[in-house]
Amino acid sequence: MFWSVLFPIYVVVLLLCFNLESPGLLGLAASEGGGNVKDQQALLEFKAKISNNQLGILRLWNNTVYYCQWYGVSCGSRRQRVTQLVLESQHLTGSISPSIGNFSFLKVLNLKNNSFIHEIPQEIGRLRRLRIYHLAANSIGGEIPRNKWENLTFVRERIIFGETFSTFKKLVGVIPETLGQLKRLTFFSVGLNNFSGTVPSSFCNLSNIRTFDIGDNYLEGSRGANDLNFPCSLTNARMLRRLSINENNFGGSTPECIGNLSTDLLHLNLDVNEISRTIPATIGNLINLEPLTIWNNQLSRAIPSVIGRLQQLQEFKAQNNSLSEGIPSSFGDLKMLISLNLSHNNLQGSIPSSLVVPYLPK
């Protein structure tokens, strides 16, 4: 009895939902939800700024299909507002329309690996629900002014403006201090740009960060005795897995606090900087490191024997420094080691018998 009453209601609701997604009822949906027409217009404006779409996917953005079903577009089921715009690797050229700022429900913006040119529009700062912001490998240039980031305090997961496969090296200016407010951020990757200045001390508040990649920029440590003191601000990041500050202008000595980074750290890349003095013995705390790369720096004195505690170490590249004294026999404890480069240093003595180096010339 109960079910026979409920069942027809259920069917009606289902049909209604279904019809809402058909183009014929767009007007109705817009007047109820309030935002649909606005989102559709914003999508069309976004499309209008794209001058070339070789793969032709934007031809599919036409009125015969409800916009929530357009290629790369996803909407929330309740309000029918655009929540994701994912147009990765689509050969798109042109600029990113300022209408992007009208997608007030957008959570994921992924325009990775296209050829968008010009600057990132100011309006991006209005996307208060953005969780993932992925623009890597485009030709976007210019500065990201502070105020463009300032309203991005809701970016929860990822900010990606550069990636190793790209030749993208265009964003300039400083990394804004306000980014330190993104407490929920887990992934920060702005490598392969032309950012300069220091890493803001506010980054000590990024306690959820797992990947931090600022490699290949013109960044430096804060001025003072301990030029490389920025990693100290990441000692609160207990989930840090990957830290890459390679190919920048960091100088001064490696701070002891490097050993206070998360013991879950897997990747540490400090190569091609101007880091001097010793490799601190506290490095021995980072027992899960797999690659440790410090080549092309000015590190001197002995390699600390605590290196033998890094039982997961697979790659140790320390070539082209001024490391001296003998090669610690504790290298022999590193059962996972597959790549070791100590060339172009001032090391002396013999290769410890404990160390099996498969690629030594026979």
Q: Kindly tell me which of 170 and 210 has the beta carbon lying closer to ligand NAG.
A: 170
Helix, coil or strand: residue 218: strand
Q: At what angle do helices 36-48 and 26-33 cross, to 10 degrees?
A: 110
Region of residue 197 (left: phi > 0; alpha: psi -120 to 50; beta: else): left
Q: Does 235 bind ligand NAG (CB under 6 A)?
A: yes
Residue 201 to residue 23: CA distance in whole angstroms: 51
Q: Kindly tell me which of 25 and 37 has the beta carbon lying closer to ligand NAG.
A: 37
One of 83, 84, 99, 246 touching ligand NAG (CB under 6 A): 99
Q: Kindly tell me which of 8 and 224 has the beta carbon lying closer to ligand NAG.
A: 224
Q: Determine the size of the site formed for ligand NAG (CB under 6 A).
A: 42
One of 93, 178, 249, 260 touching ligand NAG (CB under 6 A): 260
CB of 233 to ligand NAG, least distance (A): 8
* Residue 362, both tokens: 């026979």
Strand 251-253 relative to strand 187-189, pairing: unpaired
Residue 194 to residue 209: CA distance in whole angstroms: 22
Whether the CB-CB separation of 311 and 287 falls below 8 Å is answered with yes
Q: Does 291 bind ligand NAG (CB under 6 A)?
A: no
**CA 113 to each of CA 86, 144, 157, 162, 222: distance values in angstroms, whole numbers, following the listed order:** 11, 19, 19, 10, 33
Residue 173 to residue 14: CA distance in whole angstroms: 52
Helix, coil or strand: residue 317: strand
Residue 216 to residue 324: CA distance in whole angstroms: 28
Q: Does 62 bind ligand NAG (CB under 6 A)?
A: yes
Q: Binding marks (x or -) toward ligand NAG, 102..141, rule CB under 6 A?
A: x----------x--------x--xx--------------x
CB of 2 to ligand NAG, least distance (A): 42
Q: Kindly tell me which of 86 and 232 has the beta carbon lying closer to ligand NAG.
A: 232
Q: Does 296 bind ligand NAG (CB under 6 A)?
A: yes
Q: Binding marks (x or -) toward ligand NAG, 26..45, rule CB under 6 A?
A: ------------x--xx--x
Residue 160 to residue 311: CA distance in whole angstroms: 31
Helix, coil or strand: residue 303: coil
Pick the piece of the chain touching ligand NAG (CB under 6 A) from 1-9, 21-29, 59-67, 220-228: 59-67
**Is the alpha carbon torsion for 248, 254, 260, 264 positive or negative?**
positive
Q: Does 229 bind ligand NAG (CB under 6 A)?
A: no
Span between the terminal Cα atoms of the chain, in Å: 87
CB of 115 to ligand NAG, least distance (A): 9
Q: Does 205 bind ligand NAG (CB under 6 A)?
A: yes
Contacts to ligand NAG by CB under 6 A? 38, 41-42, 45, 59-60, 62, 64-65, 89, 91, 99, 102, 113, 122, 125-126, 141, 147-148, 150-151, 165, 169-170, 172, 180, 194, 201-202, 204-205, 232, 235, 257, 260, 296, 319-320, 341, 343-344
